[in-house]
Amino acid sequence: MMHSKRPNEAVAIGPTDRQSAAIDRTLANRSMVRRQVAAAAVEDGRAWYAIRVRVNCEKVVEKALSDAGIGTWLALQKVDGQVRRGRMLPATYKPVLWGLVFVHVAMSGDAWHGLMSFKHVLSVMGDEHGPKPVLEKQFNSFRTMVTLGVYGDKPKDWKPAVGEKVRVGSGPAFGKNGTVNAIKGRRRDRIMLTLFGGTMPIEVPLALLVKPE
């Protein structure tokens, strides 16, 4: 007849050495990510940067960053409700610049890694030398435009064609040259640009563009 072991005679079952090492690595990685995210939330020496995120994930990313204590701003514009299939859809807010969220951080190696640890974040905008802050004057000007819902007058007697070179005349990408790779919108007043050496496709209002000099 078989007898079960008494409680004090039970064999303790725990993780193997390999599993323990994996657990330690996971905990260390989580600790490192928390430290890096905290670095992105440091207040001293902050500037505005544009980060590229997956299109249609702008609001999700902005909320996650904000919840982590990182200063953020997402440029949104109100879209009036529309009638579809006999139903009136409510007004919504959509990004002015698709795929972009602005963060107010003191950029460092840890801060960069902290930003990149968030889901749907693709890159921090910059050039071949690394992340570049947005000029504060142009950022504030663009923020005022968004708040007022006014982006300036559309260029007269000029509408760029696909493949044409253009320059951003106002907003956070002020002075940047780009190439038109698509024209969108019912009024064909939104331009898909490729900025920063082909690494940054963004959608901008036609009113922000000027002919390159």
Q: Of 49-53, 66-70, 142-146, 209-213, which range is least confident?
A: 209-213
37 shares its domain with 81: yes
What pLDDT does residue 129 have?
80
Residue 60 has pLDDT above 50, yes or no: yes
Mean pLDDT of 79-87: 74
Q: What is the C-alpha to C-alpha distance for residues 5 and 9, in angstroms, rounded to an integer?
A: 6
**Alpha carbons within 13 A on the beta-carbon side of 52:** 16
Domain residue limits at 35: 22-134
Structural domain contains residue 65: yes
CATH of the domain at 190: 2.30.30.30
124 shares its domain with 161: no
Q: Quick check: pTM over 0.85?
A: no
State the pLDDT confidence band at 166, using cuts at 50, 70 and 90: confident
Mean pLDDT of 192-196: 57
End-of-domain residue from the set 107, 134, 161: 134
What pLDDT does residue 188 have?
47
Is the distance from CB of 22 to CB of 16 less than 8 angstroms?
Answer: no
Q: Tell me which residue of 181, 174, 175 sits closest to 198, measured CA to CA.
A: 181
End-of-domain residue from the set 108, 134, 160: 134
Q: What is the C-alpha to C-alpha distance for residues 19 and 41, in angstroms, rounded to an integer?
A: 33
Mean pLDDT of 120-131: 84
What single string gives the DSSP state of each residue in 68-133?
TT-EEE--EEEE---EETTEEPPPEEEESSTTEEEEEE---HHHHHHHHTSTTEEEE-EETTEE-P
For the stretch 30-41, pLDDT in tens is 666 677 778 777
48 shares its domain with 102: yes
